[in-house]
Amino acid sequence: MPSTNAFAADFTYVSFRGDVDPWRLGSIGLARSTPVGSLVGRLNWANRFAKSGTQLEADVYPRINDRMYAYLNAGYSASSIFPAWRFGGELFSTLPDAWEASLGFRQLLAGDSLHRGRRQVRWQLLDFPAPVRALQAIRRVGFRRAHDAKVFRGR
């Protein structure tokens, strides 16, 4: 399998009920698919709580065998609206009938450390994933509306 490159851009606008300013989140990234897995570099930008900041992130998706692959993530930001460091890892296994299972973790390091476990089972139909996720949430926020736009370009 030859290596391929892709570019992605994303912008999200989220408004909340009550007296909370909207959030603006954007990112640009480059991805490279290789015979042993994929590499992604991303620059994230956000405006939240009347502050703006940036974050650098890297994702690696190494193939373990025909039925398993992993996800590894690391990120850094000097901005107060992002965690100083973020780390994550997840192991994915394909199951019969287009099902996939995974188990992973996320850790955000900013002031008080935040740990987040992740378990997922998902079913995929025609290359469009429809995840059913069980996530440990810290708190719920009442969303009024969110707009999301993504652009992917690859060869």
Query: Would you state the pLDDT for residue 117?
Result: 56
Query: Would you state the pLDDT for residue 65?
Result: 94
CATH class of residue range 4-154: mainly beta
Query: Would you state the pLDDT for residue 128?
Result: 43
- Amino acid of residue 131: P
CA distance 98 to 127: 10
Sorted by where each begins, the domain ranges of the chain are 4-154
Angle in degrees, CA 72, 74, 80, rounded to 5: 150
- Amino acid of residue 115: H
Q: 19-23, 27-31, 36-40, 53-57: which has the minimum mean pLDDT?
A: 19-23
CA distance 155 to 28: 17
pLDDT tens per residue across span 59-97: 999 999 999 999 999 999 999 899 899 988 888 888 888
Neighbours of 88 (CB within 10 A): 18
Residue 55, CB-side half-sphere exposure with 13 Å CA sphere? 24
